Every structure is written in structure tokens, then in C-alpha cells.
Amino acid sequence: MLTEEKAFEIRENVARIRENMKDYPHVHIMAVIKTRTPEEINFAVRECGITLLGENRVQELLAHYDDLDHSAKLHFIGSLQKNKVKYIIDKVDMIESLDSLSLAAEIDKQAKKAGIKMPVLIELNIGREESKGGIFPEELPALCDALRAYESIVPSGLMTIAPICENKDDYNGYFSEMKRLLDTVFKVKFPESQHPILSMGMSGSFHEALQNGTDIIRIGEGIFGKRGEPYKKI
């Protein structure tokens, strides 16, 4: 069910975010769909021009999947256990949360089995928070080198979930560091990569991410409103 109020809210929210992105025409808005109903998600795709969706839990991705409008691309953005890769490999267009070599090996194996090449972003724990996934910046060069061994993975850029900052200006430090890592490490390790992607900035930080050169902003509550319980298909 999609109430008229909710539809209005989603439409207004997307319009307002677009207004803020006028100076950044190349940037993609990802609608982060955890806890949302297929009706809400498909409204964003069909009526608001959203072309990219992000899901961060395998179970919800599977619950959503059959009812989603597949004209939008779908990226996996959450922490991913190796034994779950096989469930999503043929359903997502990119995995943005690669944070270990063993996960890379499993993605490579399952992609090969499925006969595809899977684009991946390397996730960085840029704020060095214990609660967060991602590698530390000093681990990036070695992980890039090691990824060369995997033929069914396409390293495509970097992703981060920045710490929550009370002072919005502090986001600039994290995001400019991500941009620096993309330019001085990722692009050097993968000179053949055509358009390396930065995925950073969420509802509370997308302005700062735009200013620091992001390519994807990942917005959940800023589009759909406050989150409730995980979505379960009845």
C-alpha cells in the first residue's frame, strides 16, 4: 500500500535532492530501499525517475526482488557474508561493499559460475570505527594488487560510510580523503578502469559528498522518510 501522503513525500524529497544536485549533473541518486515496501520503491522508480536502488541486507533483497521494477539498477551495499554471495550474484548489478580478499574470492567464484563479471567497489572504513565494515586506507594498495587475480571481478571504485558528524564540516575531511585515495591509489592500480566511481554521502551528508567529487549519493530516509521494521513479504 502506498498512501497519497507517502507518494507526495517521496516525490517532493526526490525533487528537493535533485534541486541540490543541479551543479553535479553526472551524479547518480541511489534510493536505499531497506525496510521499504515494493509499492514505495516502484513509485520512486516509475514516478520520480530513480534509476538506481541500493539494498544492504540479503534477506530483504530476496523478499523485495520479485516485486521490484527491474528497470532500475540494483547495487548491494551492506556487509556480505561469504555464504550469502550465491543468493545475490545474479540479482545485483554491483557489489559496493567488498572488504576482504576472501569475499573477493567467493564473488569471483560465484560470478564465474553464473557466467558474468561482477563490478565491485572496495569499501573503506574511513573513520576507523569498530562497528563498521570496510578496510583501512593503508590496506588499499595490497587489496587492489590482490584483486588482479580474479578474472570475474571488475574493480570499479571505492565506497564508504562516513562516521556520523555533529559538525557537517567534518564530513569534508573524510570525503576528501576518499577522493585522494581514488586518485592516488585506485586509479594508479587500475589505470584501465574507465570511470572509477566514488560512492559516498547519505541523507545527512550528501552535500559534502557532492562537493568532494562523489559519483553516487546513497539516500534512504531523505527519500522515503523515517525507517521502520525490515520489510517482510507476507
Closest CA to 52 of 17, 4, 9: 17
Alpha-carbon distance 24 to 47, whole Å?
22
Alpha-carbon distance 18 to 219, whole Å?
12
- 192 vs 229 by CB, closer to ligand PLP: 229
- 56 vs 212 by CB, closer to ligand PLP: 56
We find the least distance from the C-beta atom of residue 125 to ligand PLP, in angstroms, to be 12
We find the least distance from the C-beta atom of residue 33 to ligand PLP, in angstroms, to be 9
Burial class (CB in 10 A: 0-12, 13-18, 19+), 93: middle
We find the least distance from the C-beta atom of residue 52 to ligand PLP, in angstroms, to be 12
- 32 vs 198 by CB, closer to ligand PLP: 32
We find the least distance from the C-beta atom of residue 48 to ligand PLP, in angstroms, to be 16
- Helix and strand totals (H; E) in the chain: 10, 8
Integer CA distances (angstroms), 108 to 37, 77, 112, 185, in order: 31, 17, 6, 22
- 80 vs 118 by CB, closer to ligand PLP: 80
Query: Which residue has the CB atom at the shortest distance from ligand PLP?
Result: 220
We find the least distance from the C-beta atom of residue 227 to ligand PLP, in angstroms, to be 7
We find the least distance from the C-beta atom of residue 96 to ligand PLP, in angstroms, to be 7
What the block records as the C-alpha cell of 135 is: 578496510
Alpha-carbon distance 122 to 21, whole Å?
25
Largest CA distance in the chain: 51
- Which residue carries 580523503 as its cell? 177
- 30 vs 89 by CB, closer to ligand PLP: 30
- 73 vs 112 by CB, closer to ligand PLP: 73
Give residues in contact with ligand PLP (CB under 6 A). Answer: 32, 34, 56, 77-78, 161, 202-203, 218-222
Q: What is the DSSP letter of 135?
A: B
